[in-house]
A and B are shown apart, each in its own frame.
Chain A
Amino acid sequence: MQISEVVRGRFRNIRRGALGDTLFQWLTSLVAIGVVALLGVIAVVLLIAASASIQTFGPSFLTGMTWDSVADVYGAVPFVSGTLVTSALALLIGVPISLGVAIFLSELAPAKVRVPLTYVVELLAAVPSVVYGLWGIFVLAPAMANVIEPGLQGVLGFLPIFQGTPRGADKFAAGVILAIMIIPTISAVSREALRAVPQSQREAALSLGATRWESTRLAVLRYARAGIFGAIVLGLGRAVGETMAVTMMIGNSNGISLSLLDPGQTIASLIANNFGEGGPVSLQKSALIELGLVLMLMSLVINVFARLMVSRVLRRGEGGAE
């Protein structure tokens, strides 16, 4: 307010400039409102397109176990569970590795290594997912089918989640490719959170006689935990919505099974597989769009959560080492 008054006073004589300012303000507001309106319009259009499915199945859509385009009966459970299972697996594998990378980059690496490595990690986050998928099909899937999955079965084969024939196109393989894809995201954001920890924290811990590891664990990780949590949730957001690489790795089967070595389907991969199908008014298309709404809602919840966590850590980081 104050600043804009000062500016107006300074340039009072320039009529054209004042008009320009007003125009500029209107234009930017319009664009900003437009983004919000766009989200609203997308939601409304999806709701309308999904209405046939919502009316036909009601809440039973969310508990339905089958997806059968012959009988025209659709349920969300196989795909919601597929999405959750692969994402959870991705976090299970990806988070420890990401944290290791982040701690190394922020706490341990000498500057000569840190700078190029940070750059590489950030570059990895920008690789298109279809490239990961291609690599997955030609490198990861054979390795999974021939080495990793039989090995896992040899050790943990008694568990119900490791039953079946390893084929390299299953929920486990999809989880692994997702883990690889979210590692750069989680590493990069966690590193930022670790760097925001005030230097005095580390110095205090070290001066009390803590080892490097104790100082990192007690002073740094603890201080940055909200930011790290935000990073993990951002990674989860990417895993939940990831389409191409998962479609190429998950085996695309619409059934439900307990074993991670059976093929499955996520919401995103089902939509990618089936969107070309059905006429403009088919119930299947409507059900697909309703699944899209479910996915949008899941992503929205995750993103809001992440935003809250990140803003919390940013506030804490004020006056820190930066």
Chain B
Amino acid sequence: MSTGAEEMAARRPRRSRRGVLWIAMGAIVVAAVILGAGALSGWFSSSAITLVGAGATFPDPLIRKWSSAYVTVTGVRVNYQAVGSGAGISQITAKTVDFAGSDAPLSATERAAAPGLLHIPETLGAVTAAYNLPGIPSGLNLTGDILVYMFLGSTSPSGITMWNDPSIAAVNPGVSLPAQAISVVHRSDGSGTTFVWTSYLHLANSAWNTSLVGKNPAWPVGIGAQGNAGVAGKILQTPYSIGYVELAYTVQNSMTVAKIENPAGNFVLPSLASTASAAAAAAPTLPTSDGDWNGVSILMAPGAGSYPVSSLTYLLVYKELNAIGPSMTQARAKALVDFIWWAVSAQCPTAPATCDGQSYSTALVYVPLPQSVVTLDEQGLRNVTFNGQTLRT
């Protein structure tokens, strides 16, 4: 047993060695901080602008593609966070982002909470009725009425619960429909896709009443799955099921989808062309960017080849960008308007590297905006100002 004094003596040399170590580590830390600060300030002072957006998940792959293409053209970075339409609207209302993405137009209360927000439709989507019927390929004919009563199921006296229901057989002569119960699959999380689908069902037949229209309504029947990918997976896994899935996901997963009857009386397969046709047909009825978009849709658009469950998805920006606060500068405001202008434009003048935003759509299974909607967007962007000054003419 050593005494305390001996222990102290024994530890002394170790202590001094440790002291040297501390000094060395301190020096390294100081050097790192100085170097790091130098590097960071160099990075920041390179005047790179980063625009920040948040919102809908549906256009996220397209916006990410735009972002990577746009930074090589202009050096302006675009950072988009796919947090959902609702979260995007609350962030732009709180002015914590430069722009938001939303699949649904602003409601009256949302518009009142964030006055001066413009709607800039930036791409199009279609919601498909995807099904899993062994032996039956894509193109089963369905009407709005049939879909409504399928999704009401056993909760409605005239609900459709079997695939060989006479009403389905009536529009599908020659197809041998199985005598199997229908399994309905829907989203379990709140979603812009659900909003579009339930809005369509209500338009098609008011038996689907307004209390069932929303981003996450109280579904009468069915199994819930998370996200478009979850619903697609559940349908692929469950024979005799039907659900609603974004067009891009049905293409990626090679799913079988229904032809849905449009107001012209034609059964139309969802595709880029039939969705673009719906948007072009509905364009004359769209309000201006600074108008009230509450309730606006391109569902059940006129036109012989229009797919009836098509929808616009929007970028939301303030008409007067100084509303964002001190983080917004003249340069950033200009960069924001230029980016959105580029994104909605379909110009592809010389080399592919200089193509504008819409030209990236088709490869990612998004529908390019028809020219009439692009013109509408450009008119809206010409109205955007910073401290009263127009940014783009």
- Structural contact, B214 and A252, CB atoms closer than 8 A: no
- Structural contact, A254 and B4, CB atoms closer than 8 A: no
Q: Is there a chain B Cβ closer than 8 Å to A70's Cβ?
A: yes
- Structural contact, B226 and A273, CB atoms closer than 8 A: yes
- Structural contact, A253 and B219, CB atoms closer than 8 A: yes
Contact pick for B224, options A14, A142, A251, A282, CB 8 Å: A251
Question: Are A277 and B190 also in contact (CB < 8 A) when A71-B211, A169-B223, A252-B224 are?
Answer: yes
Question: Are A278 and B225 also in contact (CB < 8 A) when A69-B215, A70-B211, A254-B219 are?
Answer: no
Q: Is there a chain B Cβ closer than 8 Å to A263's Cβ?
A: yes
B354 nearest CB across to chain A (Å): 37
- Structural contact, A67 and B218, CB atoms closer than 8 A: yes
A residues 271-321 near B (Cβ < 8 Å) are 273-274, 276-280, 282
Give Cα A263–Cα B241 distance, bound, in whole angstroms. Answer: 14
Give Cα A253–Cα B83 distance, bound, in whole angstroms. Answer: 23
Interface size on A, residues (CB 8 A): 33
Q: Is there a chain A Cβ closer than 8 Å to B171's Cβ?
A: no
Write out the residue numbers on chain A whose beta carbons fall within 8 Å of the beta carbon of B212.
Answer: 70
- Structural contact, B224 and A276, CB atoms closer than 8 A: no
By secondary structure, the A interface counts as loop
- Structural contact, B216 and A69, CB atoms closer than 8 A: yes
B332 nearest CB across to chain A (Å): 25
Which of chain B's residues has its CB closest to A272's CB? B226
- Structural contact, B89 and A165, CB atoms closer than 8 A: no
Which of chain B's residues has its CB closest to A137's CB? B237
Give Cα A247–Cα B87 distance, bound, in whole angstroms. Answer: 22
Give Cα A274–Cα B194 distance, bound, in whole angstroms. Answer: 13
Contact pick for B188, options A13, A70, A145, A252, CB 8 Å: A252
Which of chain B's residues has its CB closest to A169's CB? B223
Question: Are A263 and B4 also in contact (CB < 8 A) when A66-B218, A252-B188 are?
Answer: no
Q: Is there a chain A Cβ closer than 8 Å to B213's Cβ?
A: yes
Q: Is there a chain A Cβ closer than 8 Å to B176's Cβ?
A: no
B residues 163-220 near A (Cβ < 8 Å) are 181, 183, 188-190, 210-220
- Structural contact, A279 and B216, CB atoms closer than 8 A: no
For B84, B94, B237, which residue has the most chain A Cβ atoms within 10 angstroms? B237
Which of chain B's residues has its CB closest to A17's CB? B4
Contact pick for A165, options B181, B211, B216, CB 8 Å: B181
- Structural contact, A263 and B223, CB atoms closer than 8 A: yes
For A137, A247, A252, which residue has the most chain B Cβ atoms within 10 angstroms? A252
- Structural contact, B217 and A276, CB atoms closer than 8 A: no
- Structural contact, B218 and A70, CB atoms closer than 8 A: yes
Which of chain B's residues has its CB closest to A269's CB? B188
Q: Is there a chain A Cβ closer than 8 Å to B159's Cβ?
A: no
Write out the residue numbers on chain A whose beta carbons fall within 8 Å of the beta carbon of B294.
Answer: none
Give the A-B pair count, Cβ closer than 8 A: 92
Interface size on B, residues (CB 8 A): 36
- Structural contact, A273 and B189, CB atoms closer than 8 A: yes
- Structural contact, B215 and A274, CB atoms closer than 8 A: no
- Structural contact, B189 and A276, CB atoms closer than 8 A: yes
Which of chain B's residues has its CB closest to A73's CB? B218
Give Cα A251–Cα B208 distance, bound, in whole angstroms. Answer: 22
Return the CB mask of A236-279 against B: 1 if under 8 Å, else 0. 00000000000100011111000000010100000001101111
Q: Is there a chain A Cβ closer than 8 Å to B238's Cβ?
A: yes
A141 nearest CB across to chain B (Å): 7
Give Cα A165–Cα B222 distance, bound, in whole angstroms. Answer: 11
Q: Is there a chain B Cβ closer than 8 Å to A68's Cβ?
A: yes
A160 nearest CB across to chain B (Å): 15
- Structural contact, A276 and B84, CB atoms closer than 8 A: yes
Question: Are A252 and B225 also in contact (CB < 8 A) when A70-B212, A279-B90 are?
Answer: yes
- Structural contact, B223 and A167, CB atoms closer than 8 A: yes
- Structural contact, B189 and A70, CB atoms closer than 8 A: no
Return the CB mask of A161-173 against B: 1 if under 8 Å, else 0. 0000101110000
Q: Is there a chain B Cβ closer than 8 Å to A24's Cβ?
A: no
Question: Are A274 and B216 also in contact (CB < 8 A) when A165-B181, A169-B234 are?
Answer: yes
16 additional contacts, CB 8 Å, given A14-B7, A263-B223, A273-B188? A68-B211, A68-B217, A68-B218, A69-B215, A145-B238, A169-B223, A252-B188, A252-B225, A252-B226, A253-B223, A265-B224, A273-B226, A277-B86, A277-B190, A279-B93, A280-B94
What are 26 A-B pairs with beta-carbon distances under 8 A? Answer: A66-B218, A67-B218, A68-B211, A68-B218, A70-B213, A70-B214, A70-B216, A70-B218, A145-B238, A169-B223, A169-B234, A169-B238, A247-B188, A247-B226, A251-B223, A253-B219, A253-B221, A253-B222, A254-B218, A263-B223, A273-B224, A274-B189, A276-B83, A277-B84, A277-B87, A280-B94
What are the 4 tightest A-B residue pairs by CB atom distance, in nearest-first order? Answer: A252-B224, A252-B188, A279-B90, A277-B190
